Amino acid sequence: MSARIIDGTFIASQIRQSVSPGVAAFTARAGRPPCLGIVLVGEDPASGTYVRNKVKAGTESGLHVDLRRLSSSASLDELLAVVRELNASDRHDGILVQAPLPAALGRGAAQQVFDTIDPAKDVDGFSPVSVGRLVQGRALLAPCTPSGVIEMLDRCGITMSGARAVVIGRSEIVGKPMAMLLLQRDATVTVCHSKTPDLPGVGRDADILVAAIGRAGFVTRDFVKPGATVIDVGINRVTDASTAEGLFGASSARMADFAKRGSLVVGDVHPNVAEVAGALTPVPGGVGPLTIAMLLKNTLAAAEARAKSS
């Protein structure tokens, strides 16, 4: 059996197309486009790439994207001051502070940022108010990656109600909200983490298996029930040739790519899972594009909700 490969890039383009008329209507009504403020601290190259992609996608969809850059020597107070300025701005509908923050800002920095963002503008869905609403099943702005996964499952006709779902990973930004959203869709959800015994055995129970771990190729075919849907959230850069070869085989197209670039972006799911799964998201081109599409959707939703409440 060979898994159906879910085309995240195509689904993301459908979502983006569905956002554009709403953006145009908002712009006509309000006399200005919905506005997303993005704050980028420091020079992390991966964060720089993510932010560039978000600015490009937002602008292409008709949003106004206001990028604020802070140097890597910026203090937490300076960062929080920018967040408060965007909170107070009438023009800004959404605020996103790109993660990860520089380690020099301290361990609790991200939480302080989430605590400071106005929940009405919290397009990442990480503020305590947003998390509370998510748990209560009344989120307006749910975290982009897990809500993108739900959109993907819906658009692929994969039934969540009554399904057994296993989420590997319990982070605040992916694992926990993913579990909540699946539960709200009437799946029976198990959340796993680094202390879970017999992960492969737990995984084999799943009709829908979501991997959000951050370890290249960790989920092998032993974790997967034949025919299950496997969603690979992981984004891992592999720079070691023997690791890449172990995943893809010496004569694969991916290894030719590795030889050209010196690295590969791979998911948490091993390529051999395609032999047992019913459906599988690729990396790249799976969940990643959905995350950006949902950010645009959330920004429009925030703009519309703010306009209604003003």
Residue 233 as a binder of ligand NDP (CB under 6 A): the answer is yes
Stretch that binds ligand NDP, among 84-92, 125-133, 256-264, 287-295 (CB under 6 A): 287-295
In the complex, the smallest distance separating the C-beta of residue 213 from ligand NDP, rounded to whole angstroms, is 4
- Residues 229, 158: contact at Cβ < 8 Å? yes
Q: Is 17 a catalytic residue?
A: no
Q: How far apart are the first and last CA of the chain?
A: 55
The residue within the footprint of ligand NDP, chosen from 244, 287, 293, 294 (CB under 6 A), is 287
What is the residue type of 285? G
The residue within the footprint of ligand NDP, chosen from 288, 298, 303, 304 (CB under 6 A), is 288
Which residue's entry shows tokens 């951050």?
214
Q: Is 98 a catalytic residue?
A: yes
Q: Is 118 a catalytic residue?
A: no
The residue from 118, 122, 124, 207 that is catalytic is 124
Which parts of 200-219 interact with ligand NDP (CB under 6 A)? 212-215
In the complex, the smallest distance separating the C-beta of residue 27 from ligand NDP, rounded to whole angstroms, is 27
- What is the number of the residue whose Cβ is closest to ligand NDP? 171
81: Cβ–Cβ under 8 A, 6 or more apart, which residues? Answer: none
Distance CA 101, CA 176 (A): 20
What is the residue type of 261? R
Residue 245 token pair: 């070869």
The residue within the footprint of ligand NDP, chosen from 235, 247, 264, 279 (CB under 6 A), is 235
Distance CA 303, CA 310 (A): 11
Distance CA 16, CA 141 (A): 17
DSSP summary character for residue 1: -
Residue 310 token pair: 């003003």
The residue within the footprint of ligand NDP, chosen from 53, 171, 243, 272 (CB under 6 A), is 171
Query: Helix H segments across 249-286?
Result: 253-261
The residue within the footprint of ligand NDP, chosen from 77, 157, 161, 194 (CB under 6 A), is 194
Known catalytic residues are: 54, 98, 124
Interface with ligand NDP (CB under 6 A): 145, 168-171, 173-175, 192-196, 199, 212-215, 233-236, 287-288, 291
